[in-house]
Chains A and B, each alone.
Chain A
Amino acid sequence: MNALTVKDLNVKIGESHILHGVTFDVPAHKVTALLGRNGVGKSTTLKSIMGLYQGTGSIELNGQQILGTPTYKIAQAGVAYVPEDREIFSTLSVRENLTLASRNKNNGDAYKNIFELFPELDTRAAQLAGSLSGGQQQMVAIARALLNENEILLVDEPTKGLAPKLVTEVANALVKVAHETTMLLVEQNLALVKRVAENVIVMDQGKVIFQGGPENLSDPAWVHEMLGVSGGHK
């Protein structure tokens, strides 16, 4: 059963043709890693799923067409988005960021889970989100997505630019979350990808060039060819 099915997705931003017939599936209740060099169109793919860019082709969520639907309806249908630049609301407090994101009034349990995952957010609830460190902002961005019941989580480079200690903390949180949800994860940190991914998609120049199991990630030659990085650690 696929939570998300993307078929022949073409997206132009202004004059530039960014996605050229992107096609892939995201199986339900699994973590799928979306990999590829910088600038191949991973973030554009997530934004297009979210309805933030318009395109042609087909994007189905649990069999329902969502391409062309307004962004807020896509989110209400259960697509949660943790963007690459976090995009937390810097002029709102941590609590206000979470209150805004929460679409369900009876979600005491959701808050409990989030504060278990990120205790810091509880202690810093009154602080302006703009004054948080990058790692804490990332926690707000992830927490925001976890407050609602979701069909799928789109997470774009959650460990980008974080200090090593925070990379571990965010990674651990994602591993915990990974057991309970469907996730499409864009991530450069191969160690983290190996820990969580059960399914791998590789993009190059606006196209999908591989979809399959995670076994290949242990093959340095494959990793080098597909991602242009040396395998193992990064």
Chain B
Amino acid sequence: MEAFILIGITGIGLGALYFLIASGLSLIYGLMGVLNFAHGSFLTVGAFVGFWVASKMGFETTIPEFLLAMIIGGLAAGLFALLIEQLLITRLYERHIDQALVTVGVSLVVGAVLGGWFGNDLRMFPTPMWFLTAIDIGGAQIPADRVIYISTAILLLIGNWALLKFTRIGLIIRAGVENRHMVDALGINVRKAFSTVFFLGGFAAGVGGVLVSVYSNGVSPLIAGSYLIYGFIVVVIGGMGSVPGSFLAAMLIGIIKQFANYYATGLGDFVVVILLAVVLLIRPQGLLGKVRA
């Protein structure tokens, strides 16, 4: 039972990390049809800036210091995402293949620059002592950092939902995911909504980058790759353009992966790919995705 709870909660924590990547990917694709391979570099930028801020505070940080580093990492990644969008993506408006290629280029450049500068070895992220303590849940000893992953993901999900539901920009984004040309035809510059989505997606990925670095015991330009792939899988399974769909799929994948790894050592990735194939065959639009006209 204890093992079951530990694996389940670790799975949810991992799912939370996937969600931070996938939420932005999903909206960016849903709104503009852009496959954003640069999303992993947003994660990396967030991780390194967060690392830099946290390092200024010493080898160990307090919880508020850590949260500050995480938010600054997120903001830096959001601004970086906005820069990429303004400099590169908008120039290739509606040219989806070129956009995808340019985002691959960005991810390669960011990886190479940071790798050259810092090296690719893991560098310990200064975390609060509290992260190393264990919380007793139903007899299972749950590492405390999981709590941060899960609550951050839930906060971002709620923030996302509130933005989409209650603000004009959110209304524009929802309408744009369905039919961006008609949004334009109503006199609304849908590209502005796209910039907002890029910033927010970058922010979530940057926050995710800091948390991933804690989970992986250090920052490195190499970490983003596998999370990006998982981010895409989550988006496909959850449904392109659906943030709640991404949340559901991320949790599902995190949990399934952990259980598969526990009961059939190392088969986690394999099981996730099988799940992806099954969803593509049975429900190609994803769990909560809409069928496109």
Point out the residues of chain A lying under 8 angstroms from B168, CB to CB.
99
CB contacts (< 8 Å) of A83 on chain B: these are 182, 185
Q: A73 to B186, alpha carbons, bound, how many Å?
A: 9
Return the CB mask of B167-189 against A: 1 if under 8 Å, else 0: 01001101100110111111111
Contacts between the two chains (Cβ within 8 Å), count: 60
Does A3 make an interface contact (CB < 8 A)? Answer: no
Q: B185–A52 contact, CB under 8 A?
A: yes
Contacting chain B: which of A27-35, A84-92, A109-117? A84-92
Q: Write out the residue numbers on chain B whose beta carbons fall within 8 Å of the beta carbon of A52.
A: 181, 184-185
Mark B119-137 against chain A: 1 for CB-CB distance below 8 A, else 0. 0000000000000000000
Q: Knowing A87-B179, A91-B290 are in contact, say whether A71-B185 is a contact too (CB < 8 A).
A: yes
Chain A residues, Cβ within 8 Å of B174 = 89, 91-92, 96
Q: Is the CB of B186 within 8 A of A101?
A: yes
State in angstroms the CA–CA spacing of A114 and B189 once bound together: 25
Given contacts A96-B171, A100-B171, A89 and B188 within 8 Å (CB-CB):
no
A144 to B188, CA, bound (A): 13
Interface string of A59-85 (1 = CB under 8 A from B): 000000000001111011000010101
Is B84 an interface residue, CB under 8 A from the partner?
Answer: no
A-chain residues with CB within 8 Å of residue B172 when the two chains form the complex:
100
Q: Of A75, A85, A90, which contacts B186 at CB under 8 A?
A: A75
CB–CB B178/A91 < 8 A: yes
Q: Look across to chain B and name the residue whose beta carbon is closest to the beta carbon of A90.
A: B178
- Expressed in whole angstroms, the minimum distance between the Cβ of A78 and any Cβ of chain B is 9
A50 to B293, CA, bound (A): 21
A159 lies within 8 A of chain B by Cβ: no
Contacts A89-B179, A91-B290, A100-B175 given; indicate if A70 touches B186 (C-beta within 8 A): no
Knowing A72-B190, A87-B179, the reply to whether A92 touches B171 (Cβ < 8 A) is yes
Q: Which of A114-169 contact B (CB under 8 A)?
A: 144, 148
Find chain A residues with CB under 8 A from B181 CB.
Answer: 52, 71
Query: For this complex, into which size category does the number of interface residues on chain B fall?
Result: 10 to 19
Most buried by A among B179, B186, B190: B186
Contacting pair A89 B175 (CB below 8 A): yes
A195 at the interface (CB under 8 A from B): no
Q: Which residues on the B side are within 8 Å of A179 (C-beta)?
A: none
Fill in one digit per residue for A13-54: 1 if any B CB lies within 8 Å of its CB, else 0: 000000000000000000000000000000000000011100
Instruction: State A89–B181 Cα separation when bound (angstroms).
Output: 11
Given A72-B190, A96-B171, A81 contacting B185 (CB threshold 8 A): yes
When distances are taken between beta carbons in the complex, the residues of chain A under 8 Å from B178 are 89-92
**B189 engages A70 (CB within 8 Å):** yes
What would 17 more interface pairs be, CB under 8 Å, given A52-B181, A92-B178?
A51-B184, A52-B185, A71-B181, A72-B190, A75-B185, A75-B187, A75-B188, A85-B293, A87-B182, A89-B174, A92-B171, A99-B171, A100-B172, A100-B175, A100-B188, A103-B188, A148-B187
Q: List 23 A-B contacts (CB under 8 A).
A: A51-B184, A52-B185, A71-B181, A72-B184, A72-B186, A72-B188, A72-B190, A75-B186, A75-B187, A75-B188, A81-B185, A87-B182, A89-B174, A89-B175, A89-B178, A92-B171, A92-B174, A92-B175, A99-B171, A100-B183, A100-B186, A103-B186, A148-B187
